[in-house]
Amino acid sequence: MKLIILDHYSQASEWAAKYIRNRIIQFNPGPDKYFTLGLPTGSTPLGCYKKLIEYYSNGDLSFQYVKTFNMDEYVGLPRDHPESYHSFMWNNFFKHIDIHPENTHILDGNAVDLQAECDAFEEKIQAAGGIELFVGGIGPDGHIAFNEPGSSLVSRTRVKTLAMDTILANARFFDGDLAKVPTMALTVGVGTVMDAREVMILITGAHKAFALYKAIEEGVNHMWTVSAFQQHPRTVFVCDEDATLELKVKTVKYFKGLMLVHNKLVDPLYSIKEKETEKSQSSKKPYSD
């Protein structure tokens, strides 16, 4: 397990975006080899998405051969509702990059048979070869996706009733009116995310500090579902200084002492421009009379 500690939210967002960029480019995706990326919604990943859009706009990164699977979606909220996760992803990320719409996968919270929709989502992930990198965020109560406290740590994609803390936290997106906030959602399970070959979890802000403490310094506990990723062979937690307020000083010092090594994951920062240059040079015929 790696814990990446940066000074500010913007730096944590940029580190995460650089890591995603390097992972995609090093994977060398193509028509017969797609990179599969799990994605979250919410305010935490916005900074990361903005940097990824910037990399695409600068010609350093392409999502042409990337397939995405989102973590969750509200039940009963129209797809074109401004607070649906379909709208969120398209407005904040997908419409700004070169990803093909058919390669984006978001659960349908208006499906006639919700459990069948969840089962089909799991099948789509398997058909895509599994998730290469699943990026996630957490709530103040340590929930990953909508796997609320008490969720099974081997759970799969399913219908979930939202906890009151989650409803209260999301009310700000619905004019502060609790009556407008959906009370159910479709969500990938903890087990679904654990199946990914790698997991990166973004945790920023003092309000997430206790959850980070539970995830890093205490044991695995279904009341703090993010703690399950202590047992994943390749987990990267990316946080800002504020999120470390509940950690022991020696824990913070230990992981900060590893940053010289961990920063090698994003430095050098790769670009598809370099790949294209390599291809063009290798395709040139040697000089001959």
209 vs 260: CA distance, rounded Å: 24
DSSP-H helix ranges across 29-130: 46-57, 85-92, 114-127
Region 243-260 average pLDDT = 98
Burial bucket for residue 87 (CB in 10 Å: 0-12, 13-18, 19+): middle
Concerning whether 141 is annotated as a catalytic residue, the answer is: yes
Q: Residue 114: its pLDDT value, please?
A: 98
Q: Residue 169: its pLDDT value, please?
A: 85
Q: Are 164 and 181 in contact (CB under 8 A)?
A: no
Concerning whether 195 is annotated as a catalytic residue, the answer is: no
What residues have CB less than 8 Å from 80, skipping those under 6 apart? 86, 87
What is the percent of the chain where pLDDT is above 70?
96
Region 280-289 average pLDDT = 54
Catalytic residue from among 122, 132, 141, 240 = 141
98 vs 36: CA distance, rounded Å: 15
For the entire predicted model, the pTM comes to 0.94
pLDDT beyond 80 at 281? no
35 vs 133: CA distance, rounded Å: 8
Q: Quick: pLDDT tens for 210-226.
A: 999 999 999 999 999 99
Regarding predicted confidence, which is higher, 170 or 109?
Answer: 109
Residue carrying the six token digits 């649906």:
84
Q: Residue 183: its pLDDT value, please?
A: 95
Catalytic residue from among 148, 195, 240, 242 = 148
Catalytic residue from among 14, 86, 122, 143 = 143
pLDDT band at 170 (very low <50, low <70, confident <90, very high): confident
- Mean of per-residue pLDDT scores for the chain: 95
220 vs 67: CA distance, rounded Å: 31
pLDDT band at 206 (very low <50, low <70, confident <90, very high): very high
Catalytic residue from among 14, 72, 117, 195 = 72
Q: Residue 288: its pLDDT value, please?
A: 44
Q: Residue 287: its pLDDT value, please?
A: 46
